[in-house]
């Protein structure tokens, strides 16, 4: 990535379109990731609770640890690459923004807390269910905001 | 002048993410070989050594195919940061990176030797996983030192 950082490409139309395209793909990924997790894990607290711990009234079995761990394993990989690309583009375009460090730290920290809290919710106290719900929603929202800020700064002329 | 130190933030977090990816990967592997049953990790390792779980070639391909791409890509992304290191020599980085790619292939294909019946004991998989994870952690360490 050295060439992206050091070469003077500030006025390159090709680079602007390339960065715009990859960020657009990441935005689509974020939307689909939210839909996927609402199917696999659940969209509300009751649904997530049933998925993780089962439901005696509806004879629902809890999710197998193998399936949950595989989802967490994939989430970590996908989140890492999506946020690595997103934050790199964001740093390139917004390096003089005051809140940059806080935004990047928050995004990457929430991104890793989310899958880990889902795993902890399976074994530990129920508070981790709420933690997963909050961190998952906040990191996706923050990633949308960062994507929007990137689009605003890109020069497509 | 661009502020290159800002890029240390996502790189640092990437190292942390990678540690968790490796940990969950090893955990998934042990689960698929009976960790969730009675006994702990040592009992599972003993079981892998004496009689590894028989797996079909289809199952082997289902696990191998995505890992071939994803582990190769992850390894490349992590190792390429060594190009910018001023603390570790390029020669050391080259040796570690190439050894890691060899261990990666060894790790991915080792269970195939069991599935195809070339090896009866599961020592080959344990050895390959130990070498790969150990070397990857070493690479993550030297990237962290270089930051």
The rounded mean pLDDT for chain B is: 87
CA distance readout (Å), B104 to A71, B108, B127 = 22, 6, 12
Rg (C-alpha) for chain B, rounded Å, is 17
Q: Quick: pLDDT tens for A1-10.
A: 555 555 566 6
Task: Report yes or no: B5 at the A interface, CB cutoff 8 Å.
Answer: no
Query: Using CA atoms in the order A114, A118, A124, A126, what is the torsion angle rounded to 10 degrees?
Result: 90
Give residue A156's pLDDT band: very low, low, confident or very high (50, 70, 90).
Answer: low
Scanning every residue of chain A, which has its alpha carbon at the shortest distance from the alpha carbon of B6?
A: A91
Chain-chain contact of A65 with B36 (C-beta, under 8 angstroms)? yes
Q: What are phi and psi of A55, to 5 degrees?
A: -140, 115
pLDDT at A130: 93
Percent over 90 (pLDDT), chain A: 68
Q: Is residue A152 less than 8 Å (CB to CB) from chain B?
A: no
Query: What's the pLDDT score for residue B42?
Result: 81
pTM value?
0.89
Burial readout B44-75 (b: 16 or more C-beta within 10 A, e: otherwise): bbebbeeebeebeeeebeeeeeeeeeebeebb
CA of A141 to nearest chain B CA: how many angstroms apart?
A: 18
The distance from CA B42 to its chain's CA centroid, rounded to whole angstroms, is 20
ipTM of the complex: 0.89
Alpha-carbon dihedral B58, B60, B62, B67, rounded to 10 degrees: -160
Nearest CA in chain A to B3: A95
As a whole number, mean pLDDT of residues B46-50 equals 79
**pLDDT, mean over chain A:** 90
User: How do residues A70-111 score in pLDDT, each as one tens digit?
Assistant: 999 999 999 999 999 999 999 988 888 888 999 999 999 999
């Amino acid at each position: 990535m050295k060439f992206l950082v050091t070469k003077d490409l500030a006025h390159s139309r090709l680079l602007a379109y390339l960065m715009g395209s990859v960020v657009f793909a990441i935005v689509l990924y974020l939307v689909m990731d939210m839909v996927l997790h609402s199917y696999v894990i659940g969209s509300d607290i009751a649904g997530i609770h049933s998925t993780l711990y089962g439901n005696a009234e509806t004879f629902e079995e809890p999710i197998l640890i193998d399936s949950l761990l595989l989802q967490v394993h994939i989430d970590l990989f996908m989140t890492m690459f999506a946020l690595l690309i997103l934050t790199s583009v964001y740093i390139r375009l917004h390096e003089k923004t005051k809140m940059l460090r806080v935004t990047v730290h928050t995004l990457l920290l929430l991104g890793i807390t989310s899958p880990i809290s889902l795993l902890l919710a399976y074994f530990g106290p129920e508070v981790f269910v709420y933690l997963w719900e909050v961190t998952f929603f906040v990191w996706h929202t923050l990633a949308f905001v960062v994507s929007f800020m990137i689009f605003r700064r890109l020069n497509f002329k | 002048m661009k502020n290159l130190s800002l890029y240390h933030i996502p790189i640092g977090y990437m190292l942390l993410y990678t540690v968790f990816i490796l940990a969950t990967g090893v955990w998934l592997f042990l689960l698929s070989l009976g960790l969730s049953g009675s006994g702990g990790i040592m009992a599972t390792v003993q079981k892998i050594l004496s009689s590894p779980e028989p797996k079909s070639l289809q199952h082997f391909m289902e696990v191998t195919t995505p890992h071939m791409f994803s582990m190769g890509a992850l390894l490349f992304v992590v190792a390429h940061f060594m190009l910018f290191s001023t603390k570790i020599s390029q020669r050391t980085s080259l040796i570690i990176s190439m050894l890691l790619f060899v261990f990666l292939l060894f790790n991915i294909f080792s269970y195939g030797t069991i599935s195809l019946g070339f090896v009866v004991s599961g020592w080959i998989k344990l050895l390959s996983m130990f070498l790969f994870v150990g070397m990857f952690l070493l690479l993550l360490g030297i990237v962290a030192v270089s930051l």
